[in-house]
Amino acid sequence: MTIHAAAGANEGATHGTRVELPAAMPRKVSGMKIRINFEGKVITGTLADTESARDFASMLPLTLTLKDYSGTEKISDLPRRLSTKGAPAGSDPSIGDLAYYAPWGNLALFYKDFGYSSGLVTLGKLDSGVEVLSGRDPVKVTIELVK
């Protein structure tokens, strides 16, 4: 898979660089479903089958305050850093991606596409409803596993 990196606000993003990712980098869905509750609304998602996503799941339920970052994503600090063992060097997030930005130790929910960011680890994908995050700032959410 080939992606083109774009300039971005995250540290490590590079402009105009072609980045080759190993073919073994597909995002496997683990079947761990999550629910994000806020302001009477619900967004559902599925976590990837990765060590980082499993580490995130072990922290749930979590109540966080998400703040807008760069008109692209909602971010919040996590109570502790996640494992990045086995994670790629970076990621090219798209709308609905749930990710962990390792350099800052924060969670990111993308409501707009963004370019490749070094240190960004994909945790999963929001199934629907991500558009309701746009325009709300800050927003208090509770993220929990669906049993």
Q: What pLDDT shows up at residue 147?
A: 83
Query: Would you say residue 145 has pLDDT above 60?
Result: yes
The 10s digit of each residue's pLDDT in 17-42 is 333 333 333 444 457 999 999 888 89
CB 125 within 8 A of CB 97: yes
pLDDT of residue 12: 37
pLDDT above 90: residue 134 = no
pLDDT at 135 over 90: no
Mean pLDDT, the chain, rounded, equals: 81
Contact 120, 93 (CB under 8 A): yes
Q: How many domains does the chain have?
A: 1
User: What is the span of the domain harbouring residue 15?
Assistant: 2-145
Buried b (16+ CB within 10 A) or exposed e, 79-98: eeebbbeebbebbbbeebbb
| The pair of three-digit structure tokens given for residue 89, joined into one six-digit string | 């060097």
**CATH code of 25's domain:** 2.40.100.20
Give the pLDDT score at 13: 36
In this predicted model, what pLDDT tens digit does every residue of 71-130 receive, in sequence order?
Answer: 999 999 999 999 999 999 999 999 999 999 999 999 999 999 888 999 999 999 999 888
Distance from C-alpha of 67 to C-alpha of 75, rounded to nearest angstrom: 5
Which segments within 6-146 are labelled E, that is strand?
18-20, 29-38, 41-48, 62-69, 73-77, 90-91, 97-101, 106-110, 117-118, 120-128, 139-145
